[in-house]
Amino acid sequence: MKTLPGSTLGMLGGGQLGRMFTIAARTMGYEVVVLDPDKESPAGKLATTHICADYADQAALEQIAKNCDAITTEFENVPASTLEALAKTKPVRPGAKAISIAQDRIQEKNFLKDNGFYTAPFAVINSLEDLKNSISKIGTPAILKVSRFGYDGKGQFGINAESDIEKAWETLEGEACVLEQRMPLDIEVSVVLARGTEGEVVTYPVSENIHEGGILDVSVVPARINEDLETKVTDLAKQIATALDYVGIMAVEFFISNDELLVNEIAPRPHNSGHYTLDACVTDQFEQQVRAVCGLPLGDTRLLSPVVMINMLGDIWHNDQTPKWQKLLNHPNVKLHLYGKKEARPGRKMGHFNVLAENIDDALKLAEDLKNQLSKAN
Ligand code: ATP
Ligand code: MG
């Protein structure tokens, strides 16, 4: 069944991804109900209705089930029980199964391994004992990552020598973890894709991603990889979506290490590395999410221009001074996106900008220049 404009969509989570979904949905004539416990939620401000409550709040879930025609999410940490409860009355896309895999690194890594997708060598860690035993197999350098609730490199600890083991275990407070070999990275790339209710898949052009301190910093599209690799990456992402029997928008992050292609992780939602689609593709990833969730035909993912996306973190608000937006706005080929967050904390994603140009080199040069100008104290 298709959910058509005029209907009401439920969005679990009210961060920037929910906000950009809300903008797309409202542009297309849908009403949006956002559930987020934060009063200042970026998506809540633009929603038709913001339900300010916890993700497991019974009354809130009843209200969503009653008023929404289809439901989706913008972050993987929504409790699976919430998705299952809502799915009893309304379509929830993606479903609880795919989200419960993506929200738990142990399940995610095991899913990938069991389905024949290569990842960095890893071990499941439930105790200090496990960690001591596994480090000899995985070797150093390695990274210990909490299984649940990690994001933007949070909940991770680098282990460079056996002497770091106890500190790593203490820092992550003895939670269930995955220990991963730290791979030498040639390049990191990702694929955003949408899979519809009939199993049809559309993929976006591969994005090349540069991280800074575990947080995405720059995306370059088209990625500077050869065609053969581009096809492989895209096919793998499709196969993963199909293996998950996925409906909705998702992203797969890859490492290319010593010419080998490894899956890093799966995001069951729009992705930061897909923000370039907002200005550079026929259909952006948020409209695509609306289409997939509503059972509509999927949109054209064609790239209209080379593009570079730059993330803007709270760090560039020196002494609470607003960055000089004028620097960006002076350029007709630069597109500014701000998420409406009041408090600029270091590491907090506040917005991004897209630079469109004839070629990647020109886009990168202007993007880097502008980034430096924005973040200068004076
Ligand atoms: P997000 O959800 O924002 O992508 P996250 O907290 O889930 O972040 P990861 O994707 O696991 O974090 O790691 C963040 C970045 O750290 C990676 O994109 C990569 O640059 C680096 N990294 C993580 N794991 C490895 C690894 N095994 N080898 C080399 N680099 C790694
Ligand atoms: Mg990641």
Taking alpha carbons only, the member of 207, 190, 182 closest to residue 257 is 182
Ligand 2: centre distance to CA 316 (Å) = 22
3-class DSSP state for residue 371?
helix
Best residue for ligand 1 mutational test, from 74, 258, 264 (most atoms within 8 Å of Cβ): 264
50 shares a domain with 156: no
297 shares a domain with 212: yes
Identify whether 168 is part of a domain. yes
Looking at residue 168, its pLDDT comes to 94
Identify whether 97 is part of a domain. no
CA distance 179 to 20: 34
Taking alpha carbons only, the member of 165, 116, 66, 152 closest to residue 346 is 152
153 shares a domain with 211: no
3-class DSSP state for residue 242?
helix
Atom 25 of ligand 1: nearest residue by CA position:
182
CA–CA distance from 188 to each of 17, 134, 302 (Å)?
22, 26, 21
Looking at residue 152, its pLDDT comes to 84
196 shares a domain with 150: no
28 shares a domain with 129: no
Identify whether 1 is part of a domain. no
How many folded domains does the chain comprise? 3
Looking at residue 150, its pLDDT comes to 86
Looking at residue 1, its pLDDT comes to 83
> What's 337's domain CATH number?
3.30.470.20
| Backbone torsion region of residue 198, taken as left when φ is above 0, otherwise alpha when ψ lies between -120 and 50, otherwise beta | alpha
Pocket of ligand 1, beta carbon within 6 A = 120, 143, 145, 150-154, 180, 182-183, 185, 188, 211, 214, 253, 264-265
Looking at residue 102, its pLDDT comes to 94
Last residue of a domain, one of 92, 108, 142: 92
149 shares a domain with 88: no
H or E element that contains 17: helix 16-27
Ligand 2: centre distance to CA 347 (Å) = 15
CA distance 13 to 11: 6
Looking at residue 377, its pLDDT comes to 64
The size of the chain, in residues, is 378
Give me the torsion for CA of 146, 149, 152, 158, rounded to 10°.
-10
Tokens of 27: 């542009």
- Do residues 264 and 191 lie in contact, with contact meaning Cβ atoms separated by under 8 Å? no
Q: Which atom of ligand 1 is nearest to the CA of 209?
A: 18
Identify whether 34 is part of a domain. yes
> What's 68's domain CATH number?
3.40.50.20
- Predicted model pTM: 0.97
- Do residues 280 and 192 lie in contact, with contact meaning Cβ atoms separated by under 8 Å? no
Looking at residue 378, its pLDDT comes to 60
Looking at residue 183, its pLDDT comes to 97
> What's 166's domain CATH number?
3.30.1490.20
Looking at residue 319, its pLDDT comes to 79
Ligand 2: centre distance to CA 348 (Å) = 15
Instruction: Supply the range of the domain harboring residue 18.
Output: 8-92
pLDDT values of the chain reduced to their tens digit, one per residue, 378 residues: 899 999 999 999 999 999 999 999 999 999 999 999 999 999 999 999 999 999 999 999 999 999 999 999 999 999 989 999 999 999 999 999 999 999 999 999 999 999 999 999 999 999 999 999 999 999 999 999 999 998 888 899 999 999 999 999 999 988 999 999 999 999 999 999 999 999 999 999 999 999 999 999 999 999 999 999 999 999 999 999 999 999 999 999 999 999 999 999 999 999 999 999 999 999 999 999 999 999 999 999 999 999 999 999 999 998 778 999 999 999 999 999 999 999 999 999 999 999 999 999 999 999 999 999 997 766
